[in-house]
Homo-oligomer: A and B are copies of this chain.
Amino acid sequence: MLGGRMMELLRQKIENEGIVLSNQVLKVDAFLNHQIDPVLMHEIGQEFARLFKHDGITKIITIESSGIAPAVMAGLALHVPVVFARKRQSLTLTENLLTASVYSFTKNVESTIAVSNTHLSENDCVLIIDDFLANGEAAKGLATIAKQAKAKVAGFGIVIEKSFQPGRKELVQMGYRVESLARIASLEEGKVTFVREVQS
């Protein structure tokens, strides 16, 4: 499926199955954040792979839990491993950790995300994938972790970007490439309005 058609399918999914909870919060539990549509995730993974196929990606990093499905499908398409950052320490994840502090506006909590340094090194060129880009806290946390490992960051692959929040702008100002498959201009009046783009 070509990129433009895949993005149109994603926009339709958001319009038909997304629920606008407020001017800030879009719930997509029907296909991304609780129930997952594996066929759509497969298409999304292929699209991320197409966008970054010339960038020498050696590893994908994401964050549990909703980033895992699109990241793993992109990893399948690019034939590279996926590492998911953990939001809390696990008893079996005890070696040297790369960590970053991430504030969640949705949950109003500060948490630590962690990746083992065993799985990320200066030889890596990483694609950072996440389900949502809003304030960019998780994205910047993952970039901080990549930086600690001295890995190169090729860019960000985002499924749904809330373009009215500052995440994208801040990442671009930091010099990062950001590829978002659906860009939402507004959630006002209970309605999803997408960023207008030239049709591909």
Q: A interface vs B, CB < 8 Å?
A: 21, 25, 27, 29-31, 33-39, 41-42, 64-65, 68-69, 72-73, 75-76, 79-84, 86, 90-93, 106-107, 115-116, 118-119
Contact = CB atoms under 8 A, between A and B. Distances in A.
A110 to B, nearest CB: 15
Contacts of A76: 38-39, 41-42
Contacts of A34: 83-84, 86, 93, 115-116, 119
A81 B25 contact: no
Copies in the complex: 2
B27 A83 contact: no
12 contacts: A25-B92, A29-B116, A35-B83, A36-B75, A36-B82, A36-B83, A36-B84, A41-B72, A64-B65, A68-B69, A90-B107, A92-B106
Contacts of A119: 29-30, 34-35
A65 to B, nearest CB: 4
B35 A82 contact: yes
Nearest to A19: B92
A81 B29 contact: no
